[in-house]
Amino acid sequence: MLGEQRTKAIAFVASDMWKAFLSVVRRRCSEAVHVLDRFHVMHLMSKAIDDTRRQEVRLLRAQGRAPLLTKTRWLLLKRPKNLKRGERGRLRELVSINLRSVRAYLLKEQSQRFWSYKSVSGKFARTLRAHRREWLNWFAARGPFAAGASEGFNNKAPITTRKAYGFRTYEHAEIALYHALGNRPEPDWLTHRFA
């Protein structure tokens, strides 16, 4: 839809690690700097922490140990600066206990330094290592590319698609997308232009 000329002019692409995205970007925008979107990377890490916490809750329960991780999900997923005073005290207590969930939390906080240069290890890192090129492209794209704006723009498409539920043809849904997304490439068959 973008055409060869527009595709060649794309300088940066941000995506998650879905194979379809990676494949299309490599095939159609091979000259562009492909960046793994920071939101998706951190979302992946948060999911890994929560999975570790859930497994450990079950393990502690099975071993008859105290429920040390009860009501700690958001404690481990929030950034420290967003914690309330009581949560900070609870987190300090938790960090003093040698649990896998706590180590995962500390790894997440350490990995935040990646965005100003650091990397991590473990299952999460193995996933990212498979996409090392796109992950490290964060540095090449950091100045001229606004990933947050791109992510906001990308969220408009599924929201518009949900609003367009019940449209009888794909073309009607496509027109709704053009209205929502603004000055994007438009199909030749449109009878009017979007501002």
Q: How confident is the model at residue 146 (pLDDT cuts 50, 70, 90)?
A: low
Higher pLDDT: 88 or 168? It is 88
Count, residues in the chain: 195
Contact (Cβ atoms closer than 8 angstroms) between residue 35 and residue 13: yes
Q: What is the mean pLDDT of residues 39-53?
A: 88
pTM of the model: 0.51
pLDDT number for residue 153: 65
Q: Which residue, chain included where needed, has tokens 């929502």?
A: 180
Contact (Cβ atoms closer than 8 angstroms) between residue 190 and residue 170: no
pLDDT number for residue 188: 61
HSE, side-chain direction, 13 A CA sphere, residue 133: 8
Q: What is the mean pLDDT of residues 42-66?
A: 90
Q: Which residue, chain included where needed, has tokens 């960046």?
A: 35
Q: How confident is the model at residue 55 (pLDDT cuts 50, 70, 90)?
A: very high
Q: How confident is the model at residue 1 (pLDDT cuts 50, 70, 90)?
A: low
Q: Of 122, 161, 138, which is closest to residue 40 (Cα–Cα)?
A: 138
